[in-house]
């Protein structure tokens, strides 16, 4: 069995092409359901964030990727563009997953949000029944790698992540944030973090808009408590946005609506009458803000692609920590693959025979030292017979596994056998 990754990210596609592959929670569950129902792969996890959509799979071969891409295309409304896809297998796939968990493959290197996003993806796979023995092991090891990098290197120190980069750029485009008014569309984490960063940097007014008024009110109350009396906070419904957008200096949008929330038709009139420019920050994939709004003279429209330059600047401040983080990822990926290789039946049979042979010789040596008169050859012949009888059942089982494709349950049995006979070592764990 081999671990594979297929997907697209900000490395291979700009946001206009990436948003076609973006999957919400229900779409992820539908894709995982099809994978399980049609046995496309025995195990799969789907990761879909603003910067990437990728599928981590376990299979004897990757020959069914075409079937997977057909289902993905159906969910996304058209064929998947092959040129934007990357594919990794084996050690490269494991290394990729660990680099993602360590925030080494993020648009803002060192950001903290990705670990939570990976955990959400894993929980959905567990819910859909597509996370089996190997992906349980892989994802939990990836979480450990992410935490190691955060705690053992300086990669994630300070303010990190696209929300903070977005807030910094918005402040620059506004000419400073002191006294500015912020309109937040959506109650998602990215928008919340960006809004909090704007308020910390001097903005004094916040309007939270959401399609669910109760969620808008809850987030507004949380922000009010966090910021204190110095900040004025209120909540509205999304339908009220056109009537208040003209008051905002910065608009942050991350709704997950899957379509434009702000268009020239519904807000251009309100924006045209502003004396000062307004900064529209679109953190959504798919995008929330119609690109045509960026053509208005007093609008500064920023999307995820526009944040790349600022992300590169943030990377410059963290470059010193990258080698140590990469070393952790490499060592952990190689150790994981050694452990996976150790679950192959033939090496395990050899290891088991060698372990019992060493044990036999050690015990005969000890017994002959204590009792020099014993006949060593008879003891050797007798104990070899005992060893053969002990090995008969396990080796028969292992040989049977070697003649048929290993599924997750078989690999779990091999792992249990290794631990039962104490055949593990630090390098293989």
What is the pairing mode between strands 52-59 and 43-48?
A: antiparallel
Q: Could you give the CA distance from residue 400 to residue 343 in angstroms, rounded to a whole number?
A: 14
Which member of 50, 76, 174, 227 is catalytic?
50
Q: Could you give the CA distance from residue 248 to residue 281 in angstroms, rounded to a whole number?
A: 12
11, 202, 288, 318 from 260: Cα distances, Å: 24, 29, 4, 35
Q: Could you give the CA distance from residue 104 to residue 101 in angstroms, rounded to a whole number?
A: 8
Q: Could you give the CA distance from residue 207 to residue 225 in angstroms, rounded to a whole number?
A: 14
Candidates 61, 65, 48, 59; CA nearest to 122 is 48
**Is residue 50 annotated as a catalytic residue, yes or no?**
yes
Q: Could you give the CA distance from residue 80 to residue 21 in angstroms, rounded to a whole number?
A: 8
Q: For the chain, report the end-to-end CA distance as a whole number of angstroms.
A: 18
Report, as residue numbers or ranges, the catalytic residues.
50
């Amino acid at each position: 069995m081999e671990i594979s990754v297929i997907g697209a990210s900000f490395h291979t596609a700009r946001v206009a092409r990436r948003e076609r592959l973006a999957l919400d929670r229900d779409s992820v569950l539908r894709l995982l359901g099809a994978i399980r129902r049609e046995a496309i792969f025995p195990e799969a996890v789907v990761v879909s964030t603003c910067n990437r959509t990728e599928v981590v799979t376990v299979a004897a071969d990757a020959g069914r990727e075409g079937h997977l891409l057909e289902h993905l295309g159906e969910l996304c409304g058209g064929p998947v563009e092959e040129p934007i896809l990357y594919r990794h297998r084996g050690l490269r796939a494991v290394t990729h997953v660990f680099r993602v968990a360590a925030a080494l493959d993020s648009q803002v290197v060192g950001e903290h949000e990705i670990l939570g996003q990976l955990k959400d993806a894993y929980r959905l796979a567990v819910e859909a029944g597509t996370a089996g023995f190997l992906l349980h092991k892989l994802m939990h090891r990836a979480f450990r790698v992410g935490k190691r990098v955060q705690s053992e290197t300086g990669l994630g120190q300070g303010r990190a992540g696209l929300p903070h980069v977005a807030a910094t750029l918005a402040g620059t485009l506004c000419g400073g944030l002191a006294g500015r008014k912020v309109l937040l569309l959506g109650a998602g984490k990215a928008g919340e973090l960006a809004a909090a960063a704007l308020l910390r940097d001097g903005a004094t007014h916040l309007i939270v808009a959401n399609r669910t008024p109760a969620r808008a009110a809850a987030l507004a109350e949380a922000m009010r408590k966090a910021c204190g009396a110095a900040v004025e906070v209120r909540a509205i419904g999304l339908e009220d946005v056109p009537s208040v957008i003209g008051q905002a200096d910065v608009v942050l949008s991350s709704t997950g609506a899957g379509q434009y929330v702000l268009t020239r038709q519904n807000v251009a009139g309100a924006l045209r009458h502003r004396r000062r420019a307004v900064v529209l920050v679109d953190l959504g994939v798919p995008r929330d803000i119609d690109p045509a709004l960026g053509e208005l003279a007093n609008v500064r429209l920023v999307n995820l692609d526009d944040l790349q330059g600022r992300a590169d600047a943030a990377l410059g401040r963290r470059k010193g920590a990258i080698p140590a983080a990469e070393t952790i990822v490499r060592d952990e990926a190689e150790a994981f693959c050694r452990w996976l290789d150790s679950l192959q039946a033939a090496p395990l049979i050899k290891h088991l025979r060698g372990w019992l042979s060493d044990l036999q010789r050690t015990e005969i040596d000890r017994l002959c030292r204590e009792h020099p008169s014993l006949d060593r050859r008879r003891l050797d012949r007798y104990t070899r017979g005992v060893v053969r009888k002990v090995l008969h059942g396990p080796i028969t089982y292992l040989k049977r596994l070697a003649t048929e494709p290993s599924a997750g349950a078989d690999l779990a049995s091999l792992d249990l056998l290794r631990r039962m006979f104490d055949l593990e070592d630090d390098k293989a764990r």
